[in-house]
Amino acid sequence: MASFPITAYSACSGLGQTTAEVIDGLFAGRSGLTPADPGLGVATHVGKVPGVLPALRPEVEAYEGRQARLTQLVTLPLLPAVDAAKARWGASRIALILGTSTAGIAASESAWVHARDHGRLPASFAIERQHSIHATCEVTRLLTGITGPGYVISTACSSSGKVFASALRLLEAGIVDAALVGGVDSLCQLTVRGFASLEVLSPEPCRPFSAERRGINIGEGGALMLIERERHAPLGAGERGVALLGVGESSDAHHMTSPHPEGLGARMAMARALASAGLEASAIDQVNVHGTGTHKNDATESRALLDLFGAGEAGTLPEGLAVVATKGYTGHMLGAAGAIEAVFVAATMERALLPVSRGCDPVDPDLGVAVEGAGASQPRARQTRRALSNSLAFGGSNVSVLLGAEGEA
Amino acid sequence: MKAFLRGVGLWSPTAGTVASWLEAGAPADLGGVDEAGKRPPADLLHSRLRRRTSTLTRAAVTALVEACTAGGAPLDECRIVLASSYGEIETTVDILGQLADPEGPVSPTKFHNSVHNTATGYMSIAAGNRWPSTALAAGSRALEVGVLEALAGLAAGGPQRVVVILAEERLPAPFEREDADPTFAVALHFDAEAGGEACPESLDLPVELCELELGPEHGDDAGVGAGADGIASTLADLLPLLRRVLVDREGADTVALSQARTRGHARRWGLRIGAGAGEAS
């Protein structure tokens, strides 16, 4: 079984600009959701990264925009770890694989209006730097000095889950010895008003897996993880490490926006993740669900869980399987969701704590799934050994990332 | 990593198939005409789906089917890797126009058709293909990264068959740029096995991914040069490969998949083609 240690990670979201604020917010049960700017014309909540985003460093100033600033925010804290990896493996032996759905579209929105009003694009706008999907990779490349292969996966809401699959392939093929993976998405009109047009936005803070769920909230932010072939030094006493064990991907082949009614694609992704690591379903003791808070997602994803994990009497999950939904903290970070939720799973393993699935009460009894933290206000002490983290997207693009606590047989 | 390149598909406003491109003398300029009204057939898509789709999606679907038909790949038994710098840019810019009216409606169909993986989503639905697909952007490294991602997947298990699709739409106003690629789609079907007698149209060219020397001009200044964050022409990298595979069958052993000098990159890859690539494993 492959096991590639995660040697560093970072995150920002509606919970805060720093990794510590984000993780502490998760375990404190704090919401990162706030009412959306009335200027958007949509009554909803969003997970907006709070405060003024730090200015870009000179080497990436040309990429000015919210997307680049969020990218820098999660990249800079990892520079020491990336430098150590460069020293060990060589800068060209590290891959750079990021996910985004929005890229810098917020800048394109205002550039379009400027062009309409002035007959030309703003001087500060270049489509390859402000708008393009691959610009997110270039910002991180310039800041880190990684010179290995680099690209951006953009498969809507599964983007930064699928980066783990790409990284695993390059590591297993021996093309690189480490990969900096993750995702960054930035708030913009296109996603908020686009999801509003699909009538899936919740006017209140989203409540995944609740009987009273009313849809999703859009979130922004980013998360990065450094995955290496092996650790530079053994873990210290009391330190718990986390490793990437496998990934599964699938396509629904059903509909552009609706999940397969029986959760077939989600189940296939989870099953393929297990197969890629040579594990049985019984080896999993936590699932971080996609759990958007729409009626359809939560119902079909529950069906997928019951089909894969339900043993004994039909329709019951094993007692030891913790089902955690975290979008009640951050909103749906779309192209960054897979990455930040992988960070949440890693933090869960490191702290031996299971966070409350914020907003799930009262849990929808029709789903047939016991949700972690139902009726609770405090995280529960328990060591997760192996977890799947799901991301399901437009186009029926599904991924499930398998992480494990190191040293757990 | 070894494989067989079995099928190629191509759609552009001036050449609707590989054969028509070859008949025209394999020109470098795939656009060059007024593109309006040139709609790829995309017969794979049911008319109900097709009328909602963009030129990019239709072009990609058209090229996919041509490559898979030539190579003998079932459309529901292959992994698909779409590499594009600007993706569904026409649809996206249409939405920007809708968003400019603060009170105006946004089309839900255009919204879900604006994602980078729109084409792979429709392909999966139309063909009933539940294998993974991916959609990526890599600027000037699109071809190289698409092939890398594809062949690494062959090595990792799953379907032993993968189609890499490179596709762009000409950038629409107000974002038009003379240095950008025209509308086109090219599909390359790689397979762990040769098609053999069962697939008379299969190219069955052995290929092997190989790392190339960067050349003396690279030296220590991998951080300098044009490319990675430029407007990014994928066609410039693609044409030598297409010509080597389809026209000059006795040509050079190795075709580079990216330009020698790209800012921030210290490695690049090529495809060794023909007998030198040996047997696919």
How do residues A138-154 score in pLDDT, each as one tens digit? 999 999 999 999 999 99
Cα-based torsion angle of the residue sequence B216, B221, B222, B228 in order, rounded to the nearest 10 degrees: -110
Q: What is the mean pLDDT of residues B88-115?
A: 97
Cα separation, B146 vs B214, in Å, equals 20
Hey, CA dihedral for B65, B67, B71, B73, is it positive or negative? negative
Which pairing describes strands A386-393 and A286-288: parallel, antiparallel, or unpaired?
parallel
- pLDDT over 80 (residue A328): yes
Q: B106–A166: do the CB atoms touch at under 8 Å?
A: no
Segment B140-149, tens digit of pLDDT: 899 999 999 9
Does B122 contact A at CB distance below 8 Å?
yes
Q: Which residue has the higher pLDDT, B158 or B191?
A: B191
In DSSP terms, A391 is beta-bridged to A399
Cα separation, B64 vs A239, in Å, equals 49
Active site residues of A: 157, 290, 332
- Select the residue of A41, A169, A268 nearest B103 (Cβ to Cβ): A41
Q: Which amino acid is at B228?
A: A
Does A267 contact B at CB distance below 8 Å?
no
Which residues in chain A are closer than 8 Å to B129, comparing Cβ atoms?
Answer: 251, 253
Give the per-residue pLDDT at B32: 64
| Whether the Cβ atoms of residue A46 and residue A202 lie closer than 8 Å to each other | no
- pLDDT over 70 (residue B152): yes
SS3 state at A263: coil
Q: What is the mean pLDDT of residues B186-193?
A: 97
- What does chain B come to in residues? 281
Cα separation, A150 vs A134, in Å, equals 9
Cα separation, B227 vs B260, in Å, equals 10
Cα separation, A302 vs A133, in Å, equals 32
Return the closest-CA partner of residue B10 out of B29, B30, B25. Answer: B30
Q: Which residue has the higher pLDDT, B236 or A179?
A: A179
Does B249 contact A at CB distance below 8 Å?
no
Domains and CATH numbers, chain A: 4-228 (3.40.47.10), 242-405 (3.40.47.10)
Q: What is the DSSP letter of A158?
A: G
- How many interface pairs between A and B have CB atoms less than 8 angstroms apart? 227
State how far residue A406 is from chain B, nearest Cα, in angstroms. 23
> Residue A309 has which token pair?
């994990």
Q: A197–B155: do the CB atoms touch at under 8 Å?
A: no
Q: Of all residues in chain B, what percent carry a pLDDT higher than 90?
A: 73
Segment A55-102, tens digit of pLDDT: 999 999 999 999 999 999 999 999 999 999 999 999 999 999 999 999
By the 10 Å C-beta count (0-12 exposed, 13-18 middle, 19+ buried), B128 is classed as: exposed
Q: Which amino acid is at A297?
A: N
Q: What is the mean pLDDT of residues B185-197?
A: 96
Cα separation, B253 vs B134, in Å, equals 29
The interface residues of chain A toward chain B in range 98-117, judged by CB-CB distance below 8 A, are 101, 105, 108-109, 111-113, 115-116
In our burial notation (b when 16+ CB lie closer than 10 A, e otherwise), range A150-186 reads: bbbbbbbbbbbbbbbbbbbbbbebebbbbbbbbbbbb
- Select the residue of A63, A197, A254 nearest B105 (Cβ to Cβ): A197
Give the per-residue pLDDT at B158: 79
Return the closest-CA partner of residue A338 out of A279, A267, A393, A284. Answer: A393
Segment A159-171, tens digit of pLDDT: 999 999 999 999 9
Give the per-residue pLDDT at A137: 96
Domains and CATH numbers, chain B: 2-203 (3.40.47.10)
Give the per-residue pLDDT at B280: 43
CB atoms within 10 A of CB A398: 35
ipTM: 0.97
The number of angstroms, rounded, from the C-alpha of B106 to the middle of its chain's C-alpha atoms is 30
Segment B50-86, tens digit of pLDDT: 888 999 999 999 999 999 999 999 999 999 999 999 9
Give the per-residue pLDDT at B281: 42
Q: A190–B95: do the CB atoms touch at under 8 Å?
A: yes
Q: B139–A268: do the CB atoms touch at under 8 Å?
A: no
Residue B34 confidence class, pLDDT cut points 50, 70, 90: low
- pLDDT over 80 (residue A122): yes
| Whether the Cβ atoms of residue A371 and residue A325 lie closer than 8 Å to each other | yes
Q: What is the DSSP letter of A60?
A: G
- pLDDT over 70 (residue A14): yes
**Which pTM was predicted?**
0.97
Give the per-residue pLDDT at B228: 47
Segment A239-252, tens digit of pLDDT: 899 999 999 999 99
Residue B136 confidence class, pLDDT cut points 50, 70, 90: very high
Segment A252-285, tens digit of pLDDT: 999 999 999 999 999 999 999 999 999 999 999 9
Segment B202-260, tens digit of pLDDT: 999 999 999 998 765 444 444 433 344 567 788 889 999 999 999 988 887 999 999 76
3-state secondary structure chain B: CEEEEEEEEEEECCECCHHHHHHCCCCCCCCCCCCCCCCCCCCCCCHHHHCCCCHHHHHHHHHHHHHHHHHCCCCCCCEEEEECCCCCHHHHHHHHHHHCCCCCCCCHHHHHCCCCCHHHHHHHHHHCCCCCEEEEECHHHHHHHHHHHHHHHHHCCCCCEEEEEEEECCCCCCCCCCCCCCCEEEEEEEECCCCHHHCCCCCCEEEEEEEECCCCCCCCCCCCCCCCCCCCCCHHHHHHHHHHHHCCCCCCCEEECCCCCCCCCCCEEEEEECHHHCCCC
> Residue A195 has which token pair?
């999801």
State how far residue A401 is from chain B, nearest Cα, in angstroms. 14
